[in-house]
Amino acid sequence: MGGPGDPPEGTPEGGPVGGEDEYRSVVFDESFVRAARLQEYSARERMTDHAPAVRRRPPLRRGLSRQVLVLVLLIAVAFGTAIYMGVRHPYQTSALRQPAEPLRMTVIPLAPTGAVPGHADAEYLYAHSPAAQYRVGAEGIPLPASRRTAHFSDSQVVSALTTAKDYIVRSSLDPDVLTGDQVRTVRVLLDTDQLDQFDQSFAHPAADGRHAPTGWLVRFDPAEAKLADGRIRVQGSLQAAETDASTLEVTADHTFVYALRAARAGAPKEASLFTVRRELHFRFDRDDLRMHTAQLVVSYVQAGPLSCAEDSTNRLHPLLAGQTAKAGGPAGTDPYATGSATALCGSLATSAQPRV
């Protein structure tokens, strides 16, 4: 006789013993029921609405999927922000930036063929020299009309010209540089790649075409000469040109005329003129334009009256009124002319001296 849970005919042949079937292990807990896509209406609902026995439930919104979506969005936003800041960061340095070239310099002393002309009045000397029509100070270094290039804007070209002018003014017209030991005002305008060369030039001057202080700036021996007139006469030009998509170059060619007199006590009070012609080539990349610095790559200097026997590497030792050179040079050189001298020591042309 079958048990209370068995069918009247008994357990089917081949069925599980004791009435246990294969679905006995399945547990229909609350989460399983709630997750079902179909739900049976209650008896009251079926009587009232005559609805089908079951209805379809809306799909459950899983909280985990929403959290994952929010996390992915946050990561994407953070990643995009990092890329944007990396591109737009104002102090970013290009990984492809080429290091600045070392400065190549040439300083040529020009020796007078006779005694240096002198006069008590510096204005008189200027008026009777080729510098009579020169402008005074920085006015003699006007900025040219600038135009944008293929890869640089008007403002970038102006920035290059302005930086070059600032360097020329500070290194050629500042009294603290001319007759003192001030170099910092010039140094701060140089590209950082050239600072070691600049510092070594002043710490260990050498006539090697790389480390002459007088290649970087104009300065006299303060024990020998001082300015007789602070209104230095200047004339020259600035030109800017693009060399490639990342580089601007500025070429400067200026002649400076200084009125000097002896600094020693008891020396004659007459003034004399001293002329320096400087041809400077500057180079600017985009970092230099942004930082208001320059790469000075070529410095070509002619200066006189000087004695070829004196070392002009560290400081210039001008021959003053009435003095003569101990040694001359090859052919005469006129610093007012546009040609370039080729000798390491030249003779100052008579036409370059004031007519006293």
- Cβ neighbours of residue 298 closer than 8 Å, sequence gap 6 or more: 103, 104, 105, 279, 280, 281
* Cα three-residue angle 330-107-299, rounded to 5 degrees: 135
What's the rounded mean pLDDT across residues 110-125? 94
Integer Cα distance of 96 and 92 in angstroms: 12
- In the chain, the amino acid numbered 36 is A
pLDDT value, residue 89: 44
Tokens coding 156: 């970038």
pLDDT value, residue 76: 84
What's the rounded mean pLDDT across residues 214-229? 96
Instruction: Compute the half-sphere exposure of residue 3: CA atoms within 13 Å on the CB side of its CA.
Output: 7
Integer Cα distance of 311 and 104 in angstroms: 18
More confident residue, 254 or 332: 254
More confident residue, 307 or 326: 307
DSSP state of 228: E
pLDDT value, residue 46: 61
pLDDT value, residue 339: 55
- In the chain, the amino acid numbered 68 is V
Give the Cβ contact number of residue 222 at 10 Å. 13
* Cα three-residue angle 139-144-145, rounded to 5 degrees: 135
pLDDT value, residue 70: 79
- Cβ neighbours of residue 149 closer than 8 Å, sequence gap 6 or more: 157, 241, 242, 248
pLDDT value, residue 209: 93
Give, in order, the Cα–Cα distances in Å from 340 to each of 141, 174, 261. 21, 26, 28
